Amino acid sequence: MSTPFTMLVLGGCRSGKSRFAEEWVAARFPRRIFLATMARTDDQEMDHRITSHRARRTEGWRTVEEPLDPLRVLRSEQHETDVILIDCLTLWLTNLLLHELTDAEIEGAVAELAQGVAASAVPVVMVANEVGLGLVPESPLGRRFRDLAGWANQQMAAACSHVVLVTAGLPLALKGTLP
């Protein structure tokens, strides 16, 4: 059995990372699952973002919203698609923090997802924010989030065959060649 193609796409806010991942996936796979870690809420601004993200995805996409357990969706849906795009791992971590999971529980969930991605029967592309290039957060929760996100990105990067950094809409291969 060959190892599946896996890619982590990192970038800052509004860097173009999601657009890059979506366009890359759409150009290569006819049946695509967009695994969204953000579900609709009563936040009008966030709902607008979700609507605009959905509008730019063309035919061939099926969206599955799962804010807490992307591994469950990965396991249950991988035989129904050609690829799974998970967007965004950083928002998923935020959801876990808001559900008051401990650092150990979050680290365990990240490790399980990394193993699931590496064992997937179909290619998996994941999007995450690179949060370590900014200022040190003022609050303990902000520093905790930054540290967990940085650690999670390292774990996912280690599990993936390819890692891409997107800045100003331009992709740069960090691991593997830019496919």
Catalytic residue of the set 48, 53, 79, 99: 53
Active site residue 53: yes
Q: What is the largest CA-CA distance in the chain?
A: 48
**Tell me, what amino acid is at 179?**
P
Adjacent-strand bridge partners of 35: 64, 86
Pairing outcome for strands 6-11 and 162-167: parallel
Alpha helices in the chain (DSSP H): 17-26, 44-56, 70-77, 89-98, 103-118, 140-159
State how beta strands 32-36 and 61-65 pair.
parallel
Question: What one-character-per-residue DSSP string does 7-57 give?
Answer: EEEEE-TTSSHHHHHHHHHHTT-SSEEEEES----S-HHHHHHHHHHHHH-
DSSP 122: S
Give the active site residues: 53
